[in-house]
Structures are given as C-alpha cells and as structure tokens.
Amino acid sequence: MSLGMAEDDSRPEIHLPADVDWEMLDKSKFFFLGAALFSGVSGTLYPTVVLKTRQQVVVKDTPCFKMAVSILRHDGFKGFYRGFGTSLMGTIPARSLYMGALEITKSSVGFATVKMGYSEAKAAAIANAAAGVSAAMAAQLVWTPIDVVSQRLMVQGVKSGVKYNGGIDAFRQIIRADGIRGLYRGFGISILTYAPSNAVWWASYSLAHRAIWDGIGSHLKQQEHGGGGSGSGFKPDSKAVVAVQAASAAMASGVSALVTMPLDTIKTRLQVLDGEGCDGKMCIGQTLRRLLKEGGLGACYRGLGPRWVSMSFSATTMITTYEFLKKLSTKNQDSCGSLQ
C-alpha cells in the first residue's frame, strides 16, 4: 500500500502491509474462517447486546449495573445469552453477505474514485462509506428476521406478553400471527439505522486510521530533524499495526453510536413491542413521540453506554480479526507496501 500522507516528500516512509483486495482472496477460506471467527466475537459480546436491548424497551430509565444484577437474580448467567442460539444461526449467511458486499464494493468504488481524480485519502473514505452502506443493506436481508426473534427472546418476561419456547417456537408464533412480514418488522428502520451507521463507521475508521499514521509520521520527522532518526523509514511491527487499527475502530464506534442511537432505539421498540398500537407509516412517528414523552431526548439514548461498549469492543475485535482473516485468506502472502 502506498499512500501519500503529506505533500512534504522529506517525511520518512512508513512501510505498512499492503491492502488485500477482493481479487486476492481465497473466497471459500475467507467465508468459512470469517464465520468461525466472528461467531466467537459475537458470543463474547452478546451480554452487552442483551443489556442494551432491555434498557431500550423498558419505560423507566434503569442503570446498566442495576439491569445486569436484575438479570442475574431472575435468570442467572444464562439470562445474558437469551436468543443467542437464534442469533448464531444467522451469523454465517449474514456475515457472508456482509463481507462479500463490503469487499466487492470497496474494490470497485475505490478503483472508480481514483480514476475520477480523487486523492487516495478521499477515495479510501468514499469507498469505505459506500462499502459500509451496501454491506449493511445486504446483511439486513438475513439479520432483520434474526434480530426480531432474538430480541424478543432477550426481553421475554420483561416486556413482551407472549411466551416463547425457544427460537423455533418464536419463528412459528410470529409467522402465525403476522405472516412473513412479522419477521421483517422494522426492516425499513433497520436499513435507516445500519446503512448510515456502517457508512459513518467505515468512513470514520478510514480517516482516523490515516490521521493516526500521519501523526506518527510527523513525530518521526521531528525526531529526524532533531538528529534522533535514521532516515531509512519506519516499518511498524504487527503489534503497532493492530494498536492503530484498534484505536481507529474505537474512535469510529464512538462517532457512529452517537449519530445513530435514536434510530436504533426506535428500531428495537418496533421489533420487540409489536408497535404497541402503531398503524402503518405512522408507527415510527408514534414510537418517537412515546419515547420523548417518557423521558425526552434522553429516552432515545437509553442503552447508549452498553451499545458504545459493545460497538467499541466489537469493532476493535472485528477490524483486527477482519484484517487477520484477509491475510489468512489471501492467495499471495508476500505483498507489502509503504505509506509516506
């Protein structure tokens, strides 16, 4: 990878591993290993998703710690994994759609934007944002039904009046009551939530990643001017690369969570509470008015803490796992590049 980080050619080169694009991947290995790795990540972070979901559907604002203690008291540790089996069922097809759409779009849009005359920095941000939108839209075809079922299992006994005997029974009852469209309740708001969330996240990640390495380059330049540098460039070890990826992911998660939290809260309520008397197109508006009546704008940000933690840890592990996965799946292992 060769990216110009500044106009000053005297800046020392930072040699980073080259980007692995779609054409370089062994697809079968990429999807198989990806499903396995991300299933492990999802299992680790699932309790924070349960906490976020429960906080979003209760009328009274309940602190995260108090909610966690309540779950432990009434359901034990297994209460933090309600609906996980159902969620895991959707991991392989949803992740496959997500990663495929992400890589194809990133490669094609990145190539097109560079040809249009954009700088590599802008082209990367645009390509990442476009890839995030297309990946989110593709994955929601699978994720929305999985979300509807798993979230109802998460809050069973807390808010939902219907009792489900596991994920399969929940599927059956939802289809019996509302047909297939019941499984896609909140599909529109899911797209409105996850498409911009992914666009913001991937664009922010690209910009943060570049900004951090730019700062490191500036620091190295100052060291050289002070006589402390070798002038031969800098090749970071794998720990430094992972640390920058993790920091960039955490920064991007904060921005994305703040921007899209109200939409996520509305989506969760629509999927879990059957709209509570909403009619058709007015459902989103009525849900928003009910939230504002319950607690003002703050009600739209219930569960922000767990979501931010979940997104930060998920994104950090996701991006480092994702980059590791691409290296494991590449057909050509000896590529490298430089960033200056």
pLDDT over threshold 70, residue 74: yes
Looking at residue 88, what is its pLDDT?
Answer: 84
Is the pLDDT at 69 greater than 60? The verdict is yes
d(CA 82, CA 46): 9
Q: Do 277 and 286 meet the contact criterion of CB atoms below 8 Å apart?
A: yes
Q: Residue 77 and residue 12: Cα distance in Å, rounded?
A: 52
Mean pLDDT of 301-309: 82
d(CA 306, CA 265): 13
Question: pLDDT of 15-63, one tens digit each?
Answer: 666 666 667 777 777 777 777 777 887 888 889 888 888 888 776 777 8
Q: What's the pLDDT band for 1 if we cut at 50, 70, 90?
A: very low
Distance between CA atoms of residues 22 and 100, nearest Å? 8
- 28: which residues sit within 8 A by CB, 6+ positions away? none
Find, among 33, 3, 39, 257, the residue nearest to 125 by Cα: 3
Query: What local confidence, expressed as pLDDT, does residue 239 receive?
Result: 80
* Biggest CA pair distance of the chain: 75
HEC states along 197-261? Answer: HHHHHHHHHHHHHHHHHHHHHHHHHHHHHCCCCCCCCECCCHHHHHHHHHHHHHHHHHHHHHHHH
The token pair at 3 is: 């990216």
Q: Are 216 and 15 in contact (CB under 8 A)?
A: no
Query: Which of 124, 139, 110, 191 shows the shortest CA–CA distance to 34?
Result: 139
Name the pLDDT band for 130 (thresholds 50, 70, 90). Answer: very high
Q: Whole-angstrom distance between the N-terminal and C-terminal Cα of the chain?
A: 10
Check residue 4 and give its pLDDT.
Answer: 43
Per-residue pLDDT, 5: 42
Residues 71-85, mean pLDDT to the nearest whole number:
89
Distinct helix (H) and strand (E) counts, the chain: 11, 2
Backbone dihedral angles phi then psi of residue 279, each to the nearest 5 degrees:
-120, 115
Q: Which of 93-107, 151-165, 202-216, 241-255 has the lowest mean pLDDT?
A: 151-165
**H-run or E-run covering 3:** strand 2-3
pLDDT of residue 175: 92
State the Cα–Cα distance between residues 227 and 221, nearest whole angstrom. Answer: 10
Mean pLDDT of the chain: 79
CA–CA distance from 247 to each of 10, 106, 136, 210 (Å)?
27, 22, 23, 11
Residue with the two structure tokens 């920095």: 121
Dist. CA 46–CA 84, nearest whole Å:
7
pLDDT, tens digit, for every residue of 166-195?
888 989 999 998 898 888 887 888 888 888
Q: What is the pLDDT of residue 224?
A: 66
Residues whose CB falls within 8 Å of the CB of residue 124, separated by 6 or more in sequence, listed in order:
3, 110, 206, 210
Distance, in Å, from the CA atom of 94 to the CA atom of 101, rounded to the nearest integer, reads 11
φ/ψ (deg, to 5) at 62: -115, 125
Select the highest-mean-pLDDT range: 146-150, 227-231, 303-307.
146-150
